């Protein structure tokens, strides 16, 4: 039986700095913001002219793109597709395996939490504008390397967990409409032919509360928001919420059981725990996140105005001071508030004040945001249709979170050889 060997990461891979020499009319530009947790997010072609100086690197299938900046943000991608005429930023390391390691195993090693935490510590110890690492620092980290046959078994096990997480994500993105209310929705609203679960929910909201499709035969009346169905009225967001406030300014403490969500916690309209950090416990306050809260990124450039809905139900999570929480005051409006704000992200962003780079969204402006308040009957019907979608999202997110936790628990023990993968399990 072949033994595991001790070596450094640099013994099984190298960094590639080959310059793109193609002359295609269009290319795909991959920046650090275009890679996240194993995926390349951008496949949009751009004209191959007047490219910014940072876009130079070419890369191949089975390479790994790994951001030099803030490793804890998990800006990395495993390239499992054809990359003809793709160009990477110079801020991304292009890491290529050698014959001693299979590429997926290398990916799991350098994206393990142990390695990320080590690299983040090294990055934060350096002076400069951004916490940054170099390939030499990554290459010097020690690892236990199993034989190729064992590498394949470990990859197969870890990939099975990742595949299930991806299936859950795709279910959320490509949800088959099966429930009675969803079938009723298709029958009533022909515009709601949409493959995306979040898009279905937003299309439902738009059809009902922007285009008023189910209510067109009813009398309408004038309001500050234009013509609206009789019995509905214009009000301000503060009336629909029990609590609107910015979050805490935390003191971080990695040994604490409390989590706090940072500014980058909103992805695809869903609040995630990916960028949560532990902080010193404080007396519980209303600033602890609750299920169905709506969070609004309220400072900075690029993410300002981004809105996300809290689907998870946990009691040890707060928000930081870069975020505004809007908490619906009752079950009747708990889905309506979030969906309304999601439909108005650009408008919310334009409510910000301040100069470039110092913009923020004041809490008072959020409170005074004009909002349409439908009658109780319409909100009740809306809730009956939207709840199956919302709870399906919640179930999928929770299962993915548990699987990710299992994967992260298994990964270091598998990589160290403490656990063996049995053929029976596979």
Q: Give the C-alpha distances (Å, rounded to integers) separating 38 from 131, 221, 270, 363, 384.
A: 21, 51, 19, 36, 37
**How would you classify residue 411: left for phi > 0, otherwise alpha for psi between -120 and 50, otherwise beta?**
alpha
Segment 282-339, tens digit of pLDDT: 655 667 888 899 999 888 655 778 888 888 887 778 888 888 999 999 999 999 999 9
Helix or strand holding residue 46 (H, E): strand 45-47
Mean pLDDT computed over 339-366: 85
Overall average pLDDT of the 128-146 stretch: 87
| Torsion sign across C-alpha atoms 326, 331, 332, 334 | positive
Per the model's pLDDT, the better-predicted residue between 281 and 45 turns out to be 45
Q: How confident is the model at residue 181 (pLDDT cuts 50, 70, 90)?
A: very low
Mark 357-385 as b/e (b = at least 16 C-beta within 10 Å).
eebbbebebbbebebbbbeeebbeebbeb
Question: What does the H/E/C string look like for 288-313?
Answer: ECCCCCEEEECECCCCCCCEEECCCC
Range 141-149 average pLDDT: 90
pLDDT value at 279 more than 60: yes
CB-CB contact of 49 with 90 (8 Å): no
β-pair partners for 94: 16, 65
89 beta partners = 55
Distance (Å, rounded) from C-alpha 105 to C-alpha 92?
Answer: 20
Q: Are 86 and 30 in contact (CB under 8 A)?
A: yes
Q: Please spell the DSSP secondary structure of 127-150, one letter per residue.
A: -SSS-B--HHHHHTSEEEE--HHH
Question: Does residue 340 carry a pLDDT above 90?
Answer: yes
The pLDDT-based confidence of 185 (bands split at 50, 70, 90) is very low
Confidence of residue 233 (pLDDT cuts 50, 70, 90): very high
CA distances from 420 to 8, 109, 111, 410, 417 (A): 21, 16, 20, 10, 6
Residue 53 has pLDDT above 90, yes or no: no
pLDDT at 273 over 60: yes
Could you write out the DSSP letters of every residue in 261-276?
A: E-TT-EETTEE-STT-
Helix (H, G, I), strand (E, B) or coil at 236: strand
């Amino acid at each position: 039986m072949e033994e595991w060997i001790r070596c450094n990461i640099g013994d099984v891979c190298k960094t590639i700095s080959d310059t793109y020499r193609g002359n295609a009319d269009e290319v795909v530009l991959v920046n650090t913001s275009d890679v996240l947790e194993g995926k390349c997010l951008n496949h949009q072609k751009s004209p191959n002219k007047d490219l910014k100086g940072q876009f130079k690197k070419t890369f191949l299938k089975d390479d790994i793109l790994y951001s030099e900046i803030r490793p804890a943000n998990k800006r990395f991608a495993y390239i499992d597709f054809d990359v003809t005429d793709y160009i990477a930023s110079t801020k991304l390391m292009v890491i290529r395996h050698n014959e001693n390691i299979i590429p997926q195993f290398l990916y799991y090693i350098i994206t393990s939490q142990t390695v990320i935490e080590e690299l983040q510590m090294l990055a934060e110890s350096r002076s400069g504008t951004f916490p940054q690492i170099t390939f030499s620092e990554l290459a010097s980290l020690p690892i236990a390397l199993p034989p190729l046959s064992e590498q394949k078994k470990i990859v197969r096990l870890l990939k099975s967990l990742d595949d299930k997480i991806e299936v859950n994500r795709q279910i959320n993105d490509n949800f088959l409409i099966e429930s009675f209310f969803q079938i009723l929705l298709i029958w009533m609203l022909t515009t709601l032919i949409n493959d995306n679960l979040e898009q279905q929910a937003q299309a439902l909201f738009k059809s009902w509360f922007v285009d008023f499709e189910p209510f067109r035969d009813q009398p309408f009346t004038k309001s500050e928001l234009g013509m609206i169905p009789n019995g509905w009225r214009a009000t301000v967001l503060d009336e629909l919420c029990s609590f609107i406030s910015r979050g805490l300014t935390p003191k971080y403490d990695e040994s604490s059981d409390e989590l706090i969500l940072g500014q980058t916690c909103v992805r695809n309209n869903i609040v995630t725990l990916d960028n949560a950090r532990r902080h010193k416990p404080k007396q519980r306050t209303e600033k602890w996140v609750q299920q169905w809260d709506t969070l609004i990124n309220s400072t900075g450039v690029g993410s300002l105005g981004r809105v996300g809905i809290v689907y998870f139900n946990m009691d040890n999570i707060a928000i930081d001071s870069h975020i505004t929480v809007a908490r619906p005051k009752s079950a009747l409006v708990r889905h309506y508030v979030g969906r309304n704000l999601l439909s108005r992200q650009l408008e919310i962003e334009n409510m910000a004040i301040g100069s470039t780079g110092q913009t923020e969204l004041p809490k008072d402006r959020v409170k005074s945001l004009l909002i349409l308040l439908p009658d109780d009957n319409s909100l009740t019907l809306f809730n009956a249709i939207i709840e199956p979608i919302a709870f399906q999202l919640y179930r999928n997110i929770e299962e993915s979170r548990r699987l990710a936790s299992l994967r992260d628990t298994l990964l270091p023990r598998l990589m160290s050889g403490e656990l063996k993968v049995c053929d029976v399990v596979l």
